[in-house]
Structure 1
Amino acid sequence: MTLNNFNQNKYLKIYLVTLAALSIYWLYYKSSVGNDSTISEWIINYQGGFTRRGLPGEIAFHLAKYFDISLRFTIFIFQSTTYVLYLYLVYLFFKKIKLNLIFIFAFFTPIFLIYHLAELEVLARKEIFMFIGMIWFYQISKKDSGNLNPLIWIFCILPLVTILYEPAAFYYPFFAAVLIIKLRNFHIFKILISLIIVFIPALVASWLSAFELLSNDGFEMMKNSLKENFGEECYMSCGLMGSKKEAIVHISHTIQKLKEGGEYSIYIYLFRYFLIMFIGSLPLILIIAFSKLKIKILNFNYLVYPFILLNLFVPLHWLMFLDWGRAVNITYVSSFLFLFYLYKNNYIDVDENKIYEKVNFYFDLIIKYSFFKSKRKLTIFIFIIYAFGWSPPTLLSADVNSFPGYRIPYKTIKTSIPKVKNFFQLPK
């Protein structure tokens, strides 16, 4: 099943506009919550010196002071603009790709776009800058474009992306892979030299973000500046800048969390997130498994091994924080966008017939032993359950969430009714 371009773009617009509207509503709602984790990350600033993820907070700090407005409202504007920009870039990236059934499942998986609304604690977190950077980079690295713009982008823009979200360093292989594809006709030595030169600023930015730590006095200055200027407390993500500084502290804290649930908790957590990642990525895995490279890159024919290499540093990123739901989302988005970069630029050949042979085999089994009598009805049922029936939790130790397709609109309506009543001053 393949949608024609008109219907596809229409449904894509409806879906993304809906996500955008809901996101703006919830970002505004969350901006008034005193202990929201999304805000806490955005109030980190440079008032006590350079520190990781402090640039957006520093800009918001000065804008709020200059215009004499609330810091939280300024952050809300920043977050809303950034997230809507991300959704718009997603639309531009996918609007010309004909989405067949397996692509539709890969796009609507609950570990992609809808995850940010299903788990509001992750909405507009700073990995959004890396996602925007990836789409931007892939758009200027089209097959028919020259080599200069991607090289300049890596040299000039990737360091900024890294300063905004320092774990982007774990995903540099995806950027490097695009450059290798673009430069594949050059001698291997020239490719390596080019990669080293253009990645130097990003690596320096990564090093500074990871090891240029905020001093205790600097942390106190940042806290005091927030309190004195805006009456804001430095809590949660901001508060961690004074304690969990070094990478080894983050890793040890995650390992401790893995073990604290009991003797077998580490195996339970790992197995749970293996299933979440596997089930959420299953359509993408099928596409990767049945795809061949049309171009010669380091003697690779199939995509499985390149994708394993590209994700080689990702497990280390997982160990550095407790929000494994976010880790699932970040890991998926990076691989998903790269795969579709290859596909839309005709670098790979997807064997859709083999994919549907596998899918139809299992669909036939389900129809044989269930009350479903047609594949169309079964497909619609599976799609609804798969796309809107579950979502990964935010924290490593939390259970899988159910039915975000119902809970998101329900929570939105439930929280908006009192606000509407107050606006119109209606009696309760």
Structure 2
Amino acid sequence: MGVKKILQSFNTKVFIYFLIAATAVYTLAFTLVYNLKDDGYILADWLINYQDGGFKRRGLSGSFFFILQDLTGLRLNYIVYFFQFSIISLFFWYYSKLIRYKVTTLLYLSLLLSSIGFLGILNNVTYVGKKEFIVFLIFTYFVYLLDNDKLSKWKEILICIFLFVSTLLHEVTLFYVPYFAVALFIKTGKFEYKRYLKYFLAAGIPALLIIAFGKNVNEGMSLEILSKRGVHPVYGIFFWNIDERLYIKQHISEYKLYFISLGISVLHLGFYLKYLNNRKIISILLIGAFLFSFPLFYLAIDWGRWMYIHMMMLIVLFALMLKKGSSMYASEPVTIDKKFYITSLIIVFSFIYRVEMSGKGFSFQGMFYRIFIAPVELLNKMG
């Protein structure tokens, strides 16, 4: 069988289903591993609470889990994991439903295989189990409702309630609200400012309350409270005492590398947008969405994480614009042309480089390195 026939028989939808399953299993498995280790970020971030000092950012989840523990007697590790499992699984489930009757393309697949897309999760175990999956789930559910003409008035209010609660769980929600407005514009083709305002207020009001009245994440008793409840983190969010802007300045040589990764992603997205209708206005809206998140890059060190969240939101957003198909295996045939060669080059390069959450913004320790070189290096060290 020739290369052309092999490519013609390649079904991007089937590959995406496989990638969804592999990423979901990887994410859920490592989230459990880190939870059982009392990880200071993947578990402890969910256990920030109001019992230590009162109202604060991200504290709603911990207080909620404390109540559940008091009612059930179960370990916090298992209670938190149940909710992480549910949120992560529902995200992948709704994303699968969103693309089920869409005609996927090799170019769309390249987004998932970006080093800060689905492949980014497989490249960086520290991306698993974090609260941004709440934002991914809300947005994917929102886009699914839009795509299937099911976004009723009451469901839109429900989305706003979700955004309000999500912001209390993690303030990062606010900085990605523009994607909800962009998705609505793409669906309706018109600007509906009153509806957009609801989304921004839903996330903005709790954010303002946190700024005005929020206490420190750790008011001095958090570790003692957790210890009494059977969780003993030795690093992480409750130990965080870093001037993040100073940290970025001190590690500026590493952070400059993020501009390489950002440049690659911009070129990748620019190539994708080239094949969309209304690409000029969509490009302007997406630039606006990115600029809206700019305070995150100024205030916090997780630059790779903020880029990764953007790409995941874009993957869901662009699914809205894929053509409808009649089969759950609908896939555009792969043809060998200039577009194919450029897309293939993008995919291969995505497997080569890696974007860390914080630290090195670009390295050649991507998936190829992790599969073919890292195991050999490990064996040599063991030898």
- TM beyond 0.5: yes
Between the aligned partners of 2:106 and 2:124, the Cα distance in structure 1 is 26
> 1:357 Cα shift?
3.8
2:208 maps to 207
Matched, 1:286 2:271: yes
Q: Is 1:259 aligned to residue 249 of structure 2?
A: yes
* Residue 102 of structure 1: aligned partner: 107
2:338 and 2:201 mapped to 1: Cα distance? Answer: 46
Matches of 1:345 and 1:137 in 2, distance apart?
Answer: 18
The 8 Å contact of residues 36 and 77 in structure 2, kept in 1 or not, is answered as yes
Q: Alpha-carbon deviations, 1:363-391, whole Å to 9, x = none?
A: 9xxxxxxxxxxxxxxx4xx5774343332
Displacement after TM superposition at 1:12 (Å): 2.8
Q: Could you say what secondary structure the match of 2:133 adopts?
A: helix
Among 90, 93, 103, the alignment partner of 2:95 is 90
How far did residue 131 of structure 1 move? 0.8
The aligned residue for residue 17 of structure 2 is 13
Does residue 161 of the first structure (1) align with residue 166 of the second (2)?
Answer: yes
1:324 aligns with 2:311: no
Structure 1 residues 395 and 9, CA, compared in 2 at 3 Å: closer, same or farther? same
- Counterpart of 2:248, as a letter, is L
Cα shift readout 1:279-321 (whole Å, capped 9, x = no counterpart): 245433211134222xxxxxx8543222212222122222221
- 2:43 maps to what in 1? 39
The DSSP-based 3-state class of the residue aligned with 1:402 is coil
TM-score (norm 1): 0.72
* Matched length: 363
Shift of 1:126: 0.8
Task: Identify the residue that residue 178 of structure 1 maps to in structure 2.
Answer: 183
Pair member with larger Rg:
1
Q: Which moved more, 1:400-409 or 1:80-89?
A: 400-409
- Structure 1 match to 2:80: 75
Determine which structure has greater relative contact order: mean sequence separation of CA pairs < 8 Å that are 6+ residues apart, divided by chain length: 2
Match of 1:132 in 2: 137
Q: Does the residue aligned with 2:62 lie in a helix, a strand or coil?
A: helix
Q: What pairs with 1:203-242 in structure 2 (closer than 5 Å)?
A: 203-214=204-215, 219-233=219-233, 235-240=235-240
Provide the alpha-carbon RMSD of the alignment: 3.7
Q: Distance in 2 between matches of 1:408 and 1:32?
A: 26
| Unmatched segments (≥5 aa) in structure 2 | 326-332, 376-383
Give yes or no for contact 2:49–2:59 (8 Å, CA) kept in 1: yes
Residue in structure 2 matched with residue 390 of structure 1 by the alignment? 353
Q: 1:43 to 1:287 in 2, by over 3 A?
A: same
Q: Say whether residues 1:61 and 2:98 are aligned partners.
A: no
Q: TM-score, with normalisation over the residues of structure 2? A: 0.79
Task: Answer whether contact 2:40 2:237 (CA < 8 A) is retained.
Answer: no
Q: Which amino acid aligns with 2:292?
A: F
Distance 2:151 2:362 in 1: 47
Paired residue secondary structure (2:36): coil
Identity across aligned pairs (percent)? Answer: 20
Q: How far apart, CA to CA, are the structure 1 residues paired with 2:16 and 2:339?
A: 27
Change (3 A) 1:4 1:66: farther
- Structure 1 letter corresponding to 2:282: L
Distance 1:303 1:91, change over 3 A: same
Which sits farther off after the overlay, 144-153 or 159-168? 144-153
Q: Residue 177 and residue 384 in structure 1: after superposition, are their counterparts in 2 closer, same or farther (change >3 A)?
A: closer
In 2, the alpha carbon distance for the partners of 1:42 and 1:30 equals 13
Contact 1:284/1:336, CA 8 A, preserved across alignment: no
Distance 1:35 1:409, change over 3 A: farther
